[in-house]
Structure 1
């Protein structure tokens, strides 16, 4: 199993912590507010409490913060992230939910990779899952699909193994620039909620026809 540090205290952080612990992984929760961090960690028995800015204990670091602060968080940690696999789960959506706020031709994951130290590997994952869907896990025995993108094959293999431990199916979409396509998929989900599906009790996935 994997050793996971989750930076963030929001709904996605909680959903990932719960599933990670259920999958037998070691989990560390890290937040800027020590009292809130202890509270969140206590709600998931077995998780450790980390200190913001210290070297994360996990080999895999999940960046579960809004995109607006993600690159700053990575820059602040600096060399503390050396040798780590960083999972970017962000959706860099504009305030009107109609576009992405990343530079043309780039993605949140690529911008985060620029801020990360050399030797840390960024993998995009989990951005096409709503937190409550992630927390619930498989539906009627069908595993949820988790799309991943990254430049380092070993880093993607480690993330894929982590995803498997959650009872989900990892699907490799290619190198890190594919993260922009995954972030557009996140935008697609918001469009579906606003215009046709009208709720968030769904997930994107692949159906094999043969």
Structure 2
């Protein structure tokens, strides 16, 4: 099993922490507000509380914060992230839901990677799943698919093992520039939720017909 540090206190942080603990992983919760971090951990039996800015204990560090602050968080940790796998779950979507808050030709994950210390490896994952779908009691008998992208094969293998411990299926789509494709899928889902389904109780996956 994996050692996980989750930076953030929102719905995705809670959903991932709960599944990680259920899968036998160790989980550290980190938030800028110590009282809120303690409160979040108290709802997750077995979770520990870390200190914002201090070195995360997990080998895998999940950025469960808004994209607008993700690169700053990574910069703040600096060399403390050396040797860590950083999992970017953000969707850097603009407020009008028509594009992205990233430079042309780049992705949120690539911008986060630029801010990371040498020796840290960024993997894009989980951005195509809504938090309430992650915590759902039933997905009609089908495992959720988690698409991942990253440049380091070993880092992706570690994230894939973690994903499998959650009872989910990892699907590798290539190197880190493919994170832009995943962020477009996130934008697609928001469009479906807004214009077609009128709710977000769904997920996108792949069916192998071979």
Task: State the TM bucket, normalised to the shorter chain.
Answer: over 0.9
TM-score (norm 1): 0.99
> What displacement does 1:135 show?
1.6
For residues 133-159 of structure 1, the C-alpha deviation after alignment (integer angstroms, 9 at most, x for no partner) is 012266232100000000000000000
Partner of 1:7: 7
Partner of 1:171: 171
Partner of 2:189: 189
Give the Cα separation in 2 of the matches to 1:141 and 1:44.
Answer: 25
Contact kept? 1:137, 1:144, Cα under 8 Å = no
Contact kept? 1:63, 1:88, Cα under 8 Å = yes
Secondary structure in 2 matching 1:19: helix
> What displacement does 1:194 show?
1.2
Secondary structure in 2 matching 1:51: coil
1:21-32 mapped onto 2 (5 Å cutoff):
21-32=21-32
CA RMSD of aligned residues (A): 0.8
TM-score (norm 2): 0.99
Give the Cα separation in 2 of the matches to 1:166 and 1:160.
Answer: 10
Give the Cα separation in 2 of the matches to 1:160 and 1:33.
Answer: 30
Give the Cα separation in 2 of the matches to 1:59 and 1:155.
Answer: 10
- Cα 1:2–1:138 change in 2 (3 A) is farther
Partner of 2:144: 144
Give the Cα separation in 2 of the matches to 1:134 and 1:77.
Answer: 28
1:36-55 mapped onto 2 (5 Å cutoff):
36-55=36-55
Secondary structure in 2 matching 1:106: coil
1:61-210 mapped onto 2 (5 Å cutoff):
61-136=61-136, 139-210=139-210
Partner of 1:58: 58
* Structure 1 moving runs of 4+ over 2 Å: none
Contact kept? 1:5, 1:29, Cα under 8 Å = yes
Contact kept? 1:4, 1:57, Cα under 8 Å = yes
Give the Cα separation in 2 of the matches to 1:157 and 1:138.
Answer: 27
Give the Cα separation in 1 of the matches to 2:42 and 2:24.
Answer: 17
Give the Cα separation in 2 of the matches to 1:183 and 1:172.
Answer: 15
Contact kept? 1:83, 1:120, Cα under 8 Å = yes
